[in-house]
A and B are shown apart, each in its own frame.
Chain A
Amino acid sequence: MAIEDSGEPIIRLFHVHKRYGAKKALSDLSFEISRNEFLFVSGPSGAGKTTLLKLLYLGATVSEGQIIIDGLNLSRIPRRRIPFLRRKFGIIFQDYKLIPQRSVQDNIAIVLEARGAPRKTIRKKVRSVLRTVGMEDKRRALPPSLSGGEQQRVAVARAIAGDPQIILADEPTGSLDAEAAEVIFELLREYHRRGATVLVATHDAALIRRTGGRVILLEGGELDVVTTIPRLPA
């Protein structure tokens, strides 16, 4: 299926630098992401993929340069508006970031509670996203009792629970076998079809080829190349 990028970019980076102390994690990144684009950020481990995603949801702040998301300049956003920025995102973290003391369903409910959704809506939505990732029967389980792949599916369910405009996925198939990875990717493609902008950080070239899309290739924190990979015919 051909993906059409509609008009004005939803994310823009201007000469973004990120340093951790003396260590340069990202250098002079400038590019744009269109609304409803399916974009990959690729590159070897340590290239700066996770750091780039962090800058977008203000998990870290830029050392230099500007990031503009949906018209908001992240360097100028007042602290109390940060939660609103973050609610635009559904984030699948590389390390999942599930709360170990809370059940699967409570972990997902937090996203909706934070938005002040009514109880009934929350219950329904939590059920529905758990069904989508096939984890409905584990809804009362605590995350540490789940396998890596199961935790990843919960993380995906949580990321989509808030119907986000932008999905950020950091190695979302890292601990999944090929089949499970394909299920997750199909899900991301499904949300993309419904209008979300999807940003996937991965070093898995095979996965990129199966989906197709623009690829931002990082190398040692620098933009190496931007290419568009066509989707392989199934």
Chain B
Amino acid sequence: MIRMVNRALKDMWANRFLNAITVVTVALSILIVGAFALFFVNASGLLSLWTKEIRIMAYLEPDMTPEAIRSLGKRMEGMPGVGDVRFVSRERALEQLREGMDEASALLDSLEENPLPNAYEIHMAEAFRNREKFELLATRIAGLEGVSEVEYGQEWLNRFIRIIDLFRLVGIAMGALFFLAAAFIVANTIRLVLYSRRDEIEIMRLMGGAEAFIRGPFYMQGLLQGALGGAAGMTMLFGGFRFVADKVAEGGGFLPVRFLPDEMILGIFIGSMVVGWMGSYVSLRQFLKA
């Protein structure tokens, strides 16, 4: 194992120019993938901040007994994803409306009876603050007996969510594309190295070298290229992030920004190693078929 790493490092040093280009290419790919991930992480962070504010209003049927209303509230509390459930009586709703209308509230005095229904105001549990779960919950609440209508969300928020979804899609597609490009570059480099080493490989085979023994250092080389590229890419990303974060802070820090969570950094790093490994695999498959 150590011998393999040594041999791989020696090889890389012997072809340092080629390897440098490969590592830089992998780094740039990782940088772009990372940038998308970073955007996505911060956009969803922002989103979850906003979704904390949104709630589902469930308007109740008229003529429900207090017991029926209470048991409905209990059922809502028992539903998965529901955080906080608050009852808003029709009287309280009217009061709120009155407060909201200021001078015009006199208009309400002319009403003979309160036209507003009783309602439950439902907030989501933290873990459930995403759109699909949110909509699913709203639909299920709408289906409960005693609920006449639900109201939730705001149009702009939905639009924002849709844009983020689009970005996620583009990000995944671009990520896949750049990962592929990086794997292709690594494959190409390894192919060149294999080509320059073909006599040596043949000799090692004649000396009774097993395939694993012969291929190991090349896999190691791909893995190292991936790892170095990944580390360099993440470092560049972090540098860029610090720069932007400082600018945001100067601007008053109205937006909360954060770097990628540790597990995502690890994931991207491992991903870049996998890319290197795949590059080697492709070349070795092709070149050492015999």
Contacts and interface: CB of A to CB of B under 8 A. Distances in A.
Interface size class of A (residues with CB under 8 A): 20 to 34
A111 B208 contact: yes
B138 to A, nearest CB: 60
Interface stretch (B181-189, B196-204, B271-279): B196-204
Contact of A99 (B3, B200, B208, B211): B200
A91 interface: yes
Interface in A78-121: 80, 83-87, 89, 91, 93, 97-102, 110-111, 113-116, 119
Contact of A91 (B3, B199, B204, B206): B206
A158 B207 CA distance: 9
A55 to B, nearest CB: 13
In the complex, which of the residues A115, A116, A119 has the most CB atoms of chain B within 10 Å of its own CB atom?
A115
A48 interface: no
Contact of B199 (A57, A86, A99, A114): A99
B3 to A, nearest CB: 7
A57 B205 CA distance: 11
Given A114-B210, A114-B213, A99 B203 contact: yes
A111 B207 contact: yes
In the complex, which of the residues B14, B205, B207, B213 has the most CB atoms of chain A within 10 Å of its own CB atom?
B207
A83 B208 contact: yes
B80 interface: no
A114 B203 contact: no
A93 B206 CA distance: 10
A113 B206 contact: no
B154 to A, nearest CB: 65
B206 A97 contact: yes
Interface in A97-150: 97-102, 110-111, 113-116, 119
B267 interface: no
B206 A110 contact: no
A162 interface: yes
B245 to A, nearest CB: 48
A32 to B, nearest CB: 24
A199 to B, nearest CB: 16
In the complex, which of the residues A91, A114, A116, A158 has the most CB atoms of chain B within 10 Å of its own CB atom?
A114
B208 A86 contact: yes
B208 A162 contact: yes
A119 B4 CA distance: 13
B209 interface: yes
B204 to A, nearest CB: 6
A21 interface: no
Nearest to A87: B208
A59 interface: yes
Interface string B13-32: 01000000000000000000
B213 A113 contact: yes
Interface of B: 3, 14, 199-200, 202-211, 213
The 10 closest A-B pairs by CB, nearest first: A87-B208, A86-B208, A114-B209, A83-B210, A83-B208, A99-B200, A111-B207, A114-B208, A97-B203, A114-B207
Given A110-B209, A162-B208, 18 more contacts: A80-B210, A80-B211, A83-B208, A83-B210, A84-B208, A86-B205, A97-B202, A99-B203, A100-B199, A101-B14, A101-B200, A110-B203, A110-B204, A113-B3, A113-B213, A114-B213, A115-B208, A119-B3
29 contacts: A57-B206, A80-B211, A83-B205, A83-B209, A83-B210, A85-B208, A86-B205, A86-B206, A93-B206, A97-B199, A97-B206, A98-B203, A99-B199, A99-B200, A99-B203, A101-B14, A110-B204, A110-B207, A110-B209, A111-B208, A113-B209, A114-B207, A114-B208, A114-B209, A114-B210, A114-B213, A116-B213, A158-B207, A162-B207
